[in-house]
Amino acid sequence: MDIVNWIIIDLTFLIVFVGLVYPIITSDLFIVLGNILNGLFLSFEKFSLLICVIQRMFVSFLFLANSVSNWIGLKWFKTGSRGIAIGLLAGPFVIPVLGKIL
């Protein structure tokens, strides 16, 4: 069973790296999911306070970079401004991947 758990955890972090190439995939949510699955399947005892703070900083920077890139796209490319605005507003609440596609 440990092998299956490791495969699931590895797949979530693999999806994070795929999200770097294909920005439709929300990498920041998969980082959080991978860490939660790692803690649930194995143990939360090995996570120190420093690791938790660093992971939160990384996820915050990813959210910030995502917002800035959407803002730049909204500012410079007027043709897709309505679609970008809808994706920014509805995306995080409906389905994150669907919001990126909109």
Q: Which pLDDT band holds residue 88 (cuts at 50, 70, 90)?
A: low
Question: What value does the mean pLDDT take over residues 56-79?
Answer: 77
The model's pLDDT over 11-24, given as tens digits with 9 standing for 90+, comes to: 998 988 887 777 66
Domain boundaries, the chain: 2-101
Greatest mean pLDDT among 19-23, 52-56, 74-78, 97-101 lies in 52-56
Q: Sorting pLDDT into bands at 50, 70 and 90, what band is 8?
A: very high
Task: Compute the mean pLDDT over every residue in the chain, rounded to the nearest whole number.
Answer: 77
Produce one character per residue of 24-47: b if its CB has 16 or more CB atoms within 10 Å, e if not.
ebbbbbbbbbbbebbeeeeeeeee
Distance CA 60, CA 21 (A): 19
Q: Is 54 helix (H, G, I), strand (E, B) or coil?
A: helix
34 to 5, 48, 72, 76: CA distances (angstroms): 11, 16, 29, 34
